[in-house]
Amino acid sequence: MLETGGLILIFAFAVIVHEVAHGLAAERLGDPTARDLGRITLNPIPHIDLTMSIILPGLLLLSGSPFLIGGAKPVPVNWFNFKRPRQDMALVALAGPVSNLIQAAFFWGLLLIVPKIEFLITLLAQGIIVNVLLATFNMLPIPPLDGGRIVLGILPKNLAVHFSKLERFGLIIVILFVVLGGFSKLFLPLFDLLIYGIESSLK
């Protein structure tokens, strides 16, 4: 019960920081929309999204998945405030996964120095795994995931227009990807690699 509670807290914090990172990056590039709408906050309530915060993680829990992935309500961004709209939007998208990798590195650093208490080690290991998997998941090239936004930013404009049309089906594609087992096939090897790395760090 404690491990599950810790996992949920870590997951919630990871996705909130992820969205706040998007908002801060957008603000830095000239768009204050996220701050104006109160989304640059660690308060979880403004960030809750029915599909990504509840349905997707719920499907993973019900399917017996050893990991938990999902997301928060996307931070609103007005790319007309950017000097280079597509490229700056790609940078905003990249900020989210980078924030998760920074969190994972922080948890891994703590793992190397904290007392070897089982609950504490489990909590830090969960922090590493959740954040690495969250960053990797969001880098899938499916709009509206961050990877899709990054692809839109680097494609030639004519190809980007066609690729952007996938966004209307994006959430359906993501849910099918999870339900049909694609998620497990792609991420289980990464999960096993992380477990191996964590166990090696503790020796």
Residues 23, 111, 100: CA angle, nearest 5 degrees: 15
Please give the DSSP secondary-structure letter assigned to residue 168: G
Is 19 noted as a catalytic residue in this protein? yes
- Catalytic residue, chosen from 19, 27, 167, 199, is 19
- 3-class DSSP state for residue 84? coil
Residue 139 to residue 143: CA distance in whole angstroms: 10
Pull the structure tokens for residue 67.
């990991």
144 cis-preceded (ω within 30 degrees of 0)? yes
Residue 124 near residue 132, CB atoms below 8 Å = no
**120 HSE (CA, 13 A, CB side):** 9
Residue 80 to residue 98: CA distance in whole angstroms: 24
Task: Return the active site residues.
Answer: 19
